[in-house]
Amino acid sequence: MTTPRVVVLLSLVAVAVAVPTPARAQPASPPSWRPWWPTVAVGGTLGGAEPLGDRTIEARAVAVGTVTPPGFTLFRAESTLGRSVGGDLVIALPVTPALAVEARGTVRRPTLTTRLSGDSEGATGDASTERVTDVEIGGRVSWLVPAGPWPRRLRPFVAAGGAYVRQLHQDRILVETGSAWRADLGTHLWLRGGHGRGLALGLTAELGWRWRTGGITFDDRVRSAPAAAVRMFAGF
């Protein structure tokens, strides 16, 4: 099984576990954050393919006289930033047992593919590829869903935030910058702690959707793609 499939599978399993089941008696209270004590999480992320738009390249024929000759299409270029796996780091500062402010950074190396079509000389299907270093640095707010009819150590959450995007391509010579926003749904599974003092350890899995502007693109439209992440966290 490939790495992208593992990330998606683990995320789907964790989110699915959060679906309510028939209630059973549960001892003690559910785990939660310790306010003003940081939590650090490290893991992997999977970003879905992102269409970057297309561009039509035109030229004008040579003509004698003052009349501007009509243009014709040389070719059409369409680019896509492919699906890729990367690293994910989250540093959270809980302000209440359920609400946390998070700083997040991700690094991926997707493949930028540009395909040509409509070539005036008849060439079709040509494509060029290059690796892109894709970095996101930003923040978000995360909120734990109140206790419900799910396993006691499992706490679903919702989160939303924004980030600065920096992309390096052409052998890391060219730099493009942009902005990103995302919304996520996931679960925290406490393996240890989560009740006051002491070290807390656990796993996080989430699925979300990302919107971007700027960066490597052929137009100014907002682009979107799915995203998933699996991390291990430690709360101090």
Whole-number Å distance between alpha carbons of 225 and 210: 5
Residues linked to residue 40 through DSSP beta bridges, in sequence order? 91, 234
User: Left, alpha or beta for 166 (phi > 0: left; psi -120 to 50: alpha)?
Assistant: beta
Residues linked to residue 187 through DSSP beta bridges, in sequence order? 156, 205
**pLDDT score, position 141:** 98
- Percentage of the chain surpassing pLDDT 90? 60
Decide if pLDDT at 224 tops 70: yes
CATH number at residue 123: 2.40.160.20
Decide if pLDDT at 72 tops 80: no
Residue 179: domain span:
3-20+33-63+72-235
Decide if pLDDT at 172 tops 50: yes
Lowest-pLDDT range of 46-55, 74-83, 188-197: 74-83
Number of domains in the chain: 1
Q: Which stretches of the chain are assigned E, i.e. beta strand?
A: 39-47, 50-60, 71-81, 84-94, 99-108, 111-117, 127-131, 133-144, 154-169, 174-192, 200-214, 223-235
Question: Considering the domain boundaries, does residue 28 fall inside one?
Answer: no
Question: Considering the domain boundaries, does residue 27 fall inside one?
Answer: no
Question: Considering the domain boundaries, does residue 26 fall inside one?
Answer: no
